[in-house]
Amino acid sequence: MIVDASVIVASVGNPALAGAIGGKDLAAPDLVITETLNAFWKLRRAGRVVPDRAQILRLLDNVRIVRSRPHAARADELTEALDHPVYDCLYLALAEAEADVLITADMAFERKARSRGFRKSVRLASL
């Protein structure tokens, strides 16, 4: 199962989602580290309570980190096809390469990908 940063962030304080992805074989491109840390930084700046850095990094320890470079060309193709940022398309490219499904909490991306022929490749996380 491929997860993006939105799922990792959403799983904090959401026992149902944390349980749904816990114990699964999770994978993500290496970009997930930067995106996850950045998302928690934004939440912290907005005055939200977030886990400390060590806890955040422990969340990422449960994810198999995959190099982005081998999937960059396909991610760029998907960016053009979906008219969507390459960051999200990198996760979708990895899902395709591994014949797996991308789980995301990003409703707009999930809706766009599904409407453009990627119904089997992307699922919205149950929040």
Q: What's the pLDDT tens digit per position in 78-92?
A: 999 999 999 999 999
Contact 72, 91 (CB under 8 A): no
Q: How far apart are CA 127 and CA 125, in angstroms?
A: 6
Residue 127 binned pLDDT confidence (cut-offs 50, 70, 90): low
Using DSSP's 3-state secondary structure scheme, residue 2 falls into strand
Structurally, what CATH architecture does the domain formed by 2-124 represent?
Answer: 3-Layer(aba) Sandwich (3.40)
Contact 24, 75 (CB under 8 A): no
Distances from the Cα of 77 to the Cα of 3, 35, 81, 93, 106, angstroms: 20, 21, 6, 9, 20
**pLDDT tens track for 22-44:** 888 999 999 999 999 999 999 99
Q: Is the pTM of this model over 0.75?
A: yes
Whether 126 shows a pLDDT value over 80: the answer reads: no
What is the number of alpha carbons within 13 Å of residue 45 lying toward its C-beta? 6
**pLDDT tens track for 34-81:** 999 999 999 999 999 999 989 999 889 999 999 999 999 999 999 999
Contact 82, 112 (CB under 8 A): yes
